[in-house]
Amino acid sequence: MGGGDGPFQVPGRTMSSEVRDETFLLARARQGDLPAFEEIVGRYQRRVYGVALRIVRSHAVADDVAQEAFLKAWRALDRFELGRPFGPWVCRIAANLAVNHVRSPVAREDPLPEGHGETKAVGEDPLGAVLDTEAQQLLHEALEELPPDQRAVFVLRAVEEMSYSEIAEALDLSPGTVMSRLFRAREKLAKSLAPYLGSAARQRSGGRS
């Protein structure tokens, strides 16, 4: 692996210092360096937990899913392409585990209390307008009403901003099925959130009807 550019240079790709540092840590982890992998876990633990929580709707289950996702990632590091972003990969693992859980006959979805500390999502989806502090609980309730499979696709698309092909790969679906479930999820969420969205629009227009 020698060369003037160092052992972790990816041919044909210019890496930022952050990616290069992550690649170094993952390379160390591949060699059995547990503290290096623990540092990677620390960087992505909240994000992975958030993906799981939005799908399984239970703090305890989301915590278990996140831990299992990192364990599976650790065991599969030899198949991970160094230089690629680690975050989307481990989030796909977590999403797949979360969907498997909600499909399980023993799965139980407990309601979430207010102020549970989910991180705010960002993105260009029109429904992102409701992802502010004031509307968090409203969105949580609307997500509760979605079938788990539709909820998972929506979370990965609108929150994690994954492509259709990435979602299809993560959940073992066809791209057409992904698009269909996403369309239905957005329709149901838009209907559930219509009163809030209408009120927000009136406020932005100065109360004009």
Mean pLDDT across the chain: 77
Q: Is 16-112 a CATH 1.10.1040.10 domain? A: no
User: Range(s) for CATH 1.10.1740.10 in the chain?
Assistant: 16-112
107 or 83: which carries more pLDDT confidence?
83
Per-residue pLDDT at 127 exceeds 80: no
* Matching CATH number, 120-209, of 3.40.50.10310, 1.10.10.10, 3.30.830.10, 2.130.10.10: 1.10.10.10
E-strand ranges in the chain read none
Q: pLDDT band for position 5 (50/70/90)?
A: very low
Residues of the chain within CATH 1.10.10.10 domain(s) are 120-209
Instruction: Write out pLDDT tens, residues 136-178.
Output: 677 778 888 888 888 989 988 888 888 899 888 888 889 999 9
Q: Are 57 and 99 in contact (CB under 8 A)?
A: no
DSSP annotation string for 118-156: PPPP--S-GGGGG-SGGGHHHHHHHHHTS-HHHHHHHII
pLDDT in the model for residue 170: 84
Is 166 in contact with 87 (CB distance < 8 Å)? no
Token couple for 196: 């809030």
